[in-house]
Amino acid sequence: MLPHAATETVLSPLYFLRMRLFTLFLFIFSPLWSGYNASSRQYSTMELQGVDVSHYQKQIEWDTVVYKHALDFAFVKATEGHDYRDSMFCSNWTSLRRLGVRRGAYHFFRAYGCGYEQAINFLKTVDMKPGDIAPVLDIERTDGIPEEIMREEAHIWLQLVESHLGIKPIIYTNQFFYERYLAGHFEQYPLWIARYSDERPFLTTGKRWDIWQHSNEGCLDGISEKVDLNIFPGNTDMLDKLCWFPASVNAETETAP
């Protein structure tokens, strides 16, 4: 036993040195592992995190949300059909601008309604500012209307909003609805796709999505109800390409010294 004890005494300083180096390694590299969520899915540094909300989330404490979470963008429900305005839109829209969070507004499309009237409802409700994300048309049900008519009225909404603002709106839908009713008909518009999974959506048409709603079970400080979670696969400069910058603002930027 003595020879073993003597050997242990000699090796102790080396042992403690190794433990200190290992602890230092964990301290330095632990931030690299903080990108994993509860389901062990790793978020890339080239992804932006966002939410989308409506009156269903009730009164949101946006200051708390922004302080506690990395929030890069947020979409807010503005209107639905030809005359409905979300009761929380103004509060959410104003708070996001005050806090400097990139914001976007969406319209919930009703297939039984006139596309023109629905577009006017949205345009009268939403006061767009330079840098806001392009308007979104949320289209995810036929409301019992023939799909051809649904698509025709949706086209009217999209074309009117684009002609008024000078930017292509974004289409939001779930993957099943897209494949069944929209694929091949709206390929020129940016796409925000809902698919609740750890696996990224793959569309049979080969079209690339621009935003992915990957969960409707988000729990965030400052929001009392479950909230939808979204990913934009890029950085802020890339997100700018989906944002509204009026011609007058662009002209001022180009002529600035």
Q: Find the largest Cα–Cα distance for the chain.
A: 93
State how far the Cα of 137 lies from the Cα of 167, in Å rounded to an integer: 13
Of 47, 117, 140, 179, catalytic:
140
Quick one: DSSP state of residue 36? B
Of 52, 72, 153, 228, catalytic:
52
Count Cα atoms within 13 angstroms, Cβ side, for 78: 26
Pick the closest to residue 238 from 30, 47, 38, 61 (CA basis): 47
State how far the Cα of 171 lies from the Cα of 99, in Å rounded to an integer: 26
Count Cβ atoms below 10 Å from residue 171 Cβ, excluding itself. 23
The residues, any chain, with a CB within 8 Å of residue 159's CB and separated by 6 or more, are none
**Residue 9 φ then ψ, to 5°:** -65, -40
Strand partners, 171: 137, 191
Does residue 140 carry a catalytic annotation? yes
For the annotated catalytic residues, the residue numbers are: 52, 140
